[in-house]
Amino acid sequence: MKNDYRARHHPAYWAFIVHRVSGLSLAIFLPFHFWALSQALNGSQALDGFLHWTQQPLVKLAEIALVVLLAAHMAGGVRLLMLEFLAWRDWQKSLLAVAAGVSVAVGLAFALNVV
C-alpha cells in the first residue's frame, strides 16, 4: 500500500493523468468542433450568429483551456516518443518539466493573443 501512495505522487504519474485527461477532453470536443464548422453549411447568417456567440468571455476562457489541453497532449506525446526512441530515460523528470513548460507557454501566448 505504501508503494502505491508513492507511485501516485511521482511526476510521471501526473504526466500520465494529464495526457489521458487532455486526450479525452479533446475527443469530447471534436464533435462540437464539427458542429461549429457545419454552421457554415447553413448560410452566412447562421455562421455569423455562431461567431458572435463565441465572443463571450466564458467561451474565450474555454478556448484558452482547450489550447492548453492541446499543448499538454502534444507535449506529453512528444515526451513519450522521446522516451521510446531515444536513450534519455534518465532525463524523464526534465522531460516532464519541459512538457509542462511548453504547455503553459503556449496557453499563455494564446491567452495574450485572445485578450
Which residue shows C-alpha cell 522521446? 82
Checking if the pLDDT of 115 tops 70, the result is no
25's CB contacts (< 8 A; 6+ apart) are 66, 69
pLDDT over threshold 80, residue 52: yes
Name the nearest CA neighbour of 15 among 83, 66, 61: 83
Span 32-59, average pLDDT: 89
pLDDT at 90 over 90: no
DSSP conformational letter for 114: H
Q: Which CATH class is domain 2-114?
A: mainly alpha
Is 24's pLDDT higher than 90?
yes
Average pLDDT of the chain, as a whole number? 83
Which pTM value belongs to this model?
A: 0.72
The helix/strand/coil state of 80 is helix
